[in-house]
Amino acid sequence: MYGNAYIDPNEKFEGQEETPELLAAFQARIDQGDKIEPQDWMPAMYRKQLIRMIEQHAHSEIIGSLPEGTWITRAPGFRRKLALMAKVQDEVGHAQLLYSAAETLGKSREDMMNDLITGKSKYSNIFNYPALTWADSAVIAWLVDAGAIVNQLANSKGSYGPYCRALERICYEESFHLKYGHDNVVHLATGTKKQRAMVQAAMTRWWPPLMHFFGPSDKASVHSKTLMGWKVKMATNDSMRQQFMDMYIPKIWDLGLTLPDPLLKKNEETGQWDYTEPDWAEFKRVINGDGPCNAERLAVRRMAEENGKWVARAIRNEDAEYVRPFA
């Protein structure tokens, strides 16, 4: 089962009138390309789906900073260390933008964080794999960020104003990350025999999770139809996967690297890439908590929450031992 226990398409929402007229007027706004803003009327399910998707995206950014983050102390050279530190910091900043966008829909940051660390919310499959070598961090920066741009550039043209504005800003930074990652991969691919072997091994490791990254095939996707009708999602999972392959497979092959899929080829008749069906059983396992690093990723996040509690208490002034004189 891919779907989330807390999206029930038949759910009735208390306290909000949803007449056919209101729903039709909302859909007309979407169809004519209006941006929906937080104060506007919206169907309860539109709100709920957006919270689900933006929240998962935000979680993916903070969890996503972990595999690369482990390479900061071991980056080869001062310049690369500085660049990686800046990239990881950007990813955490993206999470801040996205949590803020989700908050405009009425879910508190505390609740979102709680749903992440208790395993209720999902985050991207891809960050549950280990970055075993420096080359893994290079491949992540190039190709995971490239995949993220394919998805986010499309969705930045979507209907919910705060999410679209966050995505626009994120895409500028991701474009820079992509160049940084590409530079690192080129350096290794054109380096010594050992460096080439290292980047080839990383490419082989990350290709299957990259194919999963765009989500289940269109026929198995649970939410695509609803989300596309509301212009929250602007392209299907399969079309984003194809777009990514179109843009990046030639660049990977140009570097003399190979991909672990014997069926991979551009079909001249359809114009689409033929590929081996990804292992969807593995995908399901990983997104439901049983990937190689799920437990470790959430443990780090729980530790960060625990260690940061004093900051939240200080901000809320909960530990104050005095009464402010002019309060």
Contact residues: ligand 3HC, CB under 6 A:
2-4, 7, 52-53, 56-57, 60-61, 64, 91, 122, 124-125, 144-145, 148, 151, 155, 174, 212-213, 215-216, 221-224, 227, 233, 237, 287
Residue 56 or 243: the one with the smaller Cβ distance to ligand 3HC is 56
- Give the rounded distance of the alpha carbon of 51 from its chain centre: 14
Give the nearest distance from C-beta 146 to ligand 3HC in angstroms.
Answer: 10
Residue 22 or 173: the one with the smaller Cβ distance to ligand 3HC is 173
Give the nearest distance from C-beta 46 to ligand 3HC in angstroms.
Answer: 13
Give the nearest distance from C-beta 131 to ligand 3HC in angstroms.
Answer: 12
Taking the chain, what is the end-to-end CA distance rounded to the nearest angstrom?
Answer: 53
The residues with which 274 forms a beta bridge, in sequence order, are: 265
Could you list the beta-strand ranges (E) of 34-138: none
User: What is the DSSP code string of 250-310?
Assistant: HHHHHTT---S-TT-EE-TTTSSEE-PPP-HHHHHHIIIIISSSHHHHHHHHHHHHHHHHH
- Cβ atoms of 170 and 94 closer than 8 Å: yes
Give the nearest distance from C-beta 12 to ligand 3HC in angstroms.
Answer: 19
Could you list the beta-strand ranges (E) of the chain: 265-266, 273-274
Residue count (the chain): 327
Residue 41 or 111: the one with the smaller Cβ distance to ligand 3HC is 111
How far apart are the C-alpha atoms of 278 and 283, rounded to whole Å?
8
Give the nearest distance from C-beta 136 to ligand 3HC in angstroms.
Answer: 13
Q: Which residue is nearest to ligand 3HC (CB)?
A: 4
Give the nearest distance from C-beta 160 to ligand 3HC in angstroms.
Answer: 12
